[in-house]
C-alpha cells in the first residue's frame, strides 16, 4: 500500500477496533523484472513504491502512534516486522528495482530500530526463501532447497508458511530484547545475518588522503589478489 492517507487511516482503524496497535507486519510486494538496460522508469518506480515506500508509510504512521502513546504516558511499545529478500542482501541479475527496494528496507529497519528503541518498539526484518504467487510465471527460479534429513513427511522447504513461526516470535514479548536485525528463514533453518562491516583496510603511505596510484597495488592486497594493472598516464593538453 503506497497511499499515504490510507496507511494513516489503517493504523488509526486498527487501534480503534482493537483498542490499541501492537504489531505491524509489512509483506506487500510486486515484481517487474527486467535487465537494467531494458527497465523502464515506470517499472522501477512501481516496485520501489510498493516495497520501499509502502513499508515506510506503514511504519511511519505506526511509529507516530506509538510515540504519541508514550508522550501520554500510555506507551507499552510495539513490534514491527518487515520483509526483505536475498536479492536485497546478495543481488540478483534482472532485479535492480526489487533489490534496491529490499536493500532499502534493511536500512529502514536499522534506522527505525534506533529511533524507536526509546519508545519500547522493536523493528526487525525477515528474509524468507519461498515460492509465492509473486514468483508464479517466472521462467527461471533458483534450484529448490533439498528437504533436510529427518524432516516431517510432506515438508516443503520453500513453503512461505515456514516463516510464520519467526514472525510470531518477533511479534511476541519474548523478542523484546531483539531489534534492528535481519533473520534469513531457509526451510527449517533461521539464520542470523550481519550487515556491512570492515574486513580489511589499506592505509595511505603519507598518512593523509589515499592517492589513486597507491590503490593500484594497495587495494588488491586488501582483497588478497594480484594487481590488475596501473592507472593510465594522464593526458596533458596544451603546448
Catalytic residues: 85, 98, 102
- Between the CA of residue 44 and those of 38, 83, 205, 225, what are the distances in Å? 11, 19, 43, 36
Cell numbers of 110, please? 536499522
Amino acid at each position: 500500500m503506497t497511499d499515504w492517507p490510507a496507511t494513516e487511516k489503517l493504523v488509526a482503524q486498527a487501534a480503534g477496533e482493537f483498542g490499541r496497535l501492537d504489531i505491524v507486519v509489512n509483506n506487500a510486494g510486486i515484481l517487474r523484472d527486467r535487465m537494467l538496460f531494458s527497465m523502464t522508469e515506470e517499472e522501477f518506480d512501481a516496485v520501489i513504491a510498493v516495497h520501499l515506500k509502502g513499508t515506510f508509510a506503514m511504519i511511519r504512521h505506526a511509529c507516530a502512534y506509538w510515540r504519541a502513546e508514550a508522550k501520554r504516558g500510555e506507551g507499552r511499545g510495539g513490534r514491527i516486522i518487515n520483509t526483505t529478500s536475498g536479492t536485497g542482501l546478495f543481488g540478483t541479475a534482472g532485479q535492480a528495482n526489487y533489490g534496491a527496494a529490499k536493500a532499502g528496507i534493511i536500512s529502514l529497519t536499522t534506522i527505525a530500530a534506533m529511533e524507536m528503541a526509546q519508545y519500547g518498539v522493536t523493528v526487525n526484518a525477515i528474509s524468507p526463501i519461498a515460492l509465492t504467487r509473486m514468483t508464479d510465471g517466472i521462467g527461471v527460479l533458483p534450484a529448490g532447497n533439498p528437504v533436510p534429513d529427518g524432516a516431517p513427511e510432506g515438508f516443503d522447504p520453500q513453503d512461505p508458511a515456514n516463516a510464520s513461526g519467526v514472525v510470531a516470535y518477533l511479534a511476541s514479548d519474548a523478542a523484546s530484547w531483539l531489534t534492528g536485525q535481519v533473520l534469513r528463514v531457509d526451510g527449517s533453518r533461521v539464520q542470523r545475518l550481519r550487515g556491512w562491516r570492515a574486513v580489511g583496510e589499506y592505509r595511505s603511505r603519507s598518512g593523509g588522503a589515499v592517492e589513486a596510484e597507491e590503490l593500484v597495488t594497495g587495494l588488491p592486497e586488501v582483497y588478497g589478489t594480484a594487481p590488475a594493472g596501473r592507472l593510465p598516464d594522464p593526458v596533458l593538453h596544451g603546448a
